[in-house]
Structure 1
Amino acid sequence: MKLPLLATSLLRAAWAAPLFMLLAACSGTGGPRPAELPPDPALLRLQQSWVAHPPATAFPLHATVSDHQVTLAGADGLVMAIDARSGRELWRAQAGAPVEVGAGSDGSVTAVVTKDNQLAVLHDGKLAWTGRLDARAFTPPLVAGRRVFVHTADRTISAWDAQTGQRLWSRSRVGDRLVLNHPGVLIAVRDTVVTNLGARLVGLAPGDGTLRWEAPIATSRGVTEVENMIDLTGSASRVGDSVCARAYAATIGCVQAARGQLIWRKTARGAEGLAGDADADAVYGSESDGALVAWRRADGEPAWRSGQLMHRQLLAPVISGEALVVAERSGTLHLASRRDGSLLGRTTPDGTTIETAPVLAGNTLVVATRKGVYGYRAAE
């Protein structure tokens, strides 16, 4: 996977000219040829339940689930909420500017970050307030406990009052100048905000940002800045107090979040997030070469590895019933067995690309393509 230099940018006056790295697609001329797909085994099928068609320019960047509500943001500033049970649009609004990243939502309060570094917060579909950020953001905001938490590219975590827009606190860590133009980790675990500062998973007190613990998912081993650049990337998998995360093209690891204890870490070469649940006691991910991998959650030992989708551009998997659903950027949804990774079926929503991983709301799998938003359920 290539990592071309994107830009040199001044994020803060006190933080001189950090460099951004752009995650490039693993395809194009000269790359390995994607594995030939076998005939569709059709052992498991997804049935389309509904489709929604937002404006064509409102290509979703990120989807957040709260109960049965899915909230999405589009590049042109459109923010919308959909009832995942029926596909009914609940509301739509404008953030006031093109959106860089979002949305984060608790079902009532929704937050996005615009391209001009404004945090825009909506209450029940109406723009309530905006706040100026000191740097770009690549990670969707977290809305929890009447606060909005933001992770910016200058390695700063800030908390804002969701009602008034007052900035409550911020915590920074000056480190490597290189950061990834890719979402990191920002979730709530009980009464702790769990996020990343570089390749360290950290737990912060939501009230004042006090550092409660930190655990290294990866460590630098290179010589140059590029070789030393390690960030956590993609969605984390949480089961109870177990949080598993990926360091870009380096490792994955699991932390006991109540104490901040690193349980294990293993070498892994990927960029996308992880999936997992308590039923299988496993963590699932797609590697940069297209392999699907399952690791045992307890100790990180490999459970299985499947090479049927090698060199295809895969997003983070999502668990739906007995299957792993993994979207290919070209527009196909692949269904794989959670037991051994074997392919069970596939479907193509509309033939256009899928740029953001599907999400599960109740028993509905929600998939956003360039043309629309689709709800799928397991066929009976």
Structure 2
Amino acid sequence: MKARQLALVMAAALSLGACSSLNPFASGDSKSKALKPLTNPVAITETWNVRLGNAGVFVLQPAQVNGAVFAADSEGDVVRVESGRTVWKTRLKTTVSGGVGASADLVVVGTPKGEVIALDAASGEIKWRVAISAEVLAPPAVSDGIIVVRGADSRLFGLDPADGKRRWMYQRATPSLSLRSAAGVVLDRNAILAGFPGGKLAAISPANGSLMWEGTVAVPRGATELERMADITSLPVVGSRATCAVAYQGRVACFDMSNGSTLWTRDLSSSRGLDLDEKHVFVTDDKGAVHALDISSGASAWKQDLLAGRGTGRPLASGEHVVVGDSEGYVHLLRKDDGSLVGRQRAASSPILADLQRAAGDIIVQTRDGNIAAVNVK
């Protein structure tokens, strides 16, 4: 049985093609679709660039708090960067596989052996280390009141920020076959939002880990276990008008945050993820094309497929643009109103697998090989 499950997992990973963040067998260096010259491009400048170690086989995310950027590499180096200056660097002497989560007080990472490590955000001093019984692949969600760590088996652990002691654990039944994912959870006001294998989005109480509501993003379909995979492998997003998530081999769905009722669904497969603003939901599909959907109805507003085949990552809505990274280290700007490509900047030569982040007016990029860069749109 174990051999059969391993074979299925390998087949699933291979079926994802260019999606290196989920596919441990893909290098992300395969030849991408050629870029065409842009006419009168919007100026994008690099504000700063800091070198860190590589992410190895993991997807490590930078985090920003009040303009400070925190990042880690797989060798266990964790840094705080401000305006391109490394304020501190702490060597943990252990592999880091999940991170970075941060608040104004704490920086938190996880390891393949299930250790969660918290550092002081101001000094980099290690505050505590605790063990959970699960590999950590995702950035912990950190606030003053609770730290939520997601295990690779999709269990959620609520930890006390003061000492790391466990307050609660949330667990649910998952399909026998699921995708290996670095997606964590969103800690929003009075709820923790997490997507799960099988296409479910759950809102969980930060106080005690109880289920508040559950919504169906995708319904597994097909004759085989591979065909029935409909996992949510990216972060949900929360806006003033809707809470939305997307599933691999599934759909985009938006919900009423107050009670979990479904506002609309739209067939569209994505393992990369989505973002939103007041008018649109922006989604990168599994071929790398970027879509804009009307936030009220899910109707298509535009589709930009010139980035298909380039390992395009999760979109980030920023000002008048949608920003995406790709497998060759480029950052691309798309106009929000029509999806046209209007700017690009190469942050590095290695793939951008981590989600782009905002920090003090810049877009923060972390590449697989360890470049942490800030780019600015003029």
CA displacement at 1:46 relative to structure 2: 0.7
Please state if 1:374 is matched with 2:369.
no
Aligned partners of 2:188 and 2:43: how far apart in 1?
34
Aligned to 1:162: 161
Aligned partners of 1:236 and 1:57: how far apart in 2?
23
Contact 2:59–2:98 (CA under 8 A) maintained in structure 1:
no
Aligned to 1:76: 75
Aligned to 2:302: 304
Pair 36,60 (structure 1): closer, same or farther in 2 beyond 3 Å: closer
Candidates 15, 18, 24, aligned match of 1:26: 18
Pair 126,244 (structure 1): closer, same or farther in 2 beyond 3 Å: same
Q: Per the alignment, in what secondary structure is the counterpart of residue 225 of structure 1?
A: coil
Q: Deviations over 1:110-152 (max 9, x none)?
A: 2111121211122222212222222223322111233210122
CA displacement at 1:209 relative to structure 2: 0.8
The structure whose residues are more often strand, as a share, is: 1
CA displacement at 1:19 relative to structure 2: 5.7
Output the amino acid matched with 1:130.
Answer: R
Structure 1: tracts of 5 or more residues without a match = 10-17
Candidates 107, 114, 136, aligned match of 1:117: 114
Output the amino acid matched with 1:250.
Answer: G
CA displacement at 1:348 relative to structure 2: 1.1
Aligned partners of 2:31 and 2:372: how far apart in 1?
29
Please state if 1:95 is matched with 2:68.
no
RMSD value, Cα: 2.7
Aligned partners of 2:227 and 2:376: how far apart in 1?
43
More off after superposition, 56-65 vs 20-29: 20-29
Q: Per the alignment, in what secondary structure is the counterpart of residue 234 of structure 1?
A: coil
Output the amino acid matched with 2:86.
Answer: E
CA displacement at 1:55 relative to structure 2: 4.4
Structure 2: tracts of 5 or more residues without a match = 20-25
Contact 2:49–2:84 (CA under 8 A) maintained in structure 1:
yes
Contact 1:284–1:294 (CA under 8 A) maintained in structure 2:
yes
Contact 2:50–2:373 (CA under 8 A) maintained in structure 1:
yes
Q: Deviations over 1:244-272 (max 9, x none)?
A: 11111311111111211221111112210
Q: Per the alignment, in what secondary structure is the counterpart of residue 360 of structure 1?
A: strand
Aligned to 2:250: 250
Output the amino acid matched with 1:224.
Answer: T
Aligned to 1:175: 174
Contact 2:80–2:87 (CA under 8 A) maintained in structure 1:
yes
Pair 6,74 (structure 1): closer, same or farther in 2 beyond 3 Å: farther
Q: Per the alignment, in what secondary structure is the counterpart of residue 22 of structure 1?
A: helix
Q: TM-score, normalised by structure 1?
A: 0.87
Contact 1:121–1:129 (CA under 8 A) maintained in structure 2:
yes
Aligned partners of 1:8 and 1:90: how far apart in 2?
43
Contact 1:185–1:236 (CA under 8 A) maintained in structure 2:
no
Aligned to 1:213: 213
Aligned to 1:63: 62
Contact 1:69–1:107 (CA under 8 A) maintained in structure 2:
no
Please state if 1:314 is matched with 2:319.
no
Pair 185,51 (structure 1): closer, same or farther in 2 beyond 3 Å: closer
* Matched length: 361
Contact 1:201–1:216 (CA under 8 A) maintained in structure 2:
yes
Output the amino acid matched with 1:168.
Answer: R
Q: Deviations over 1:299-321 (max 9, x none)?
A: 11111112222222101111232
Aligned partners of 2:212 and 2:282: how far apart in 1?
28
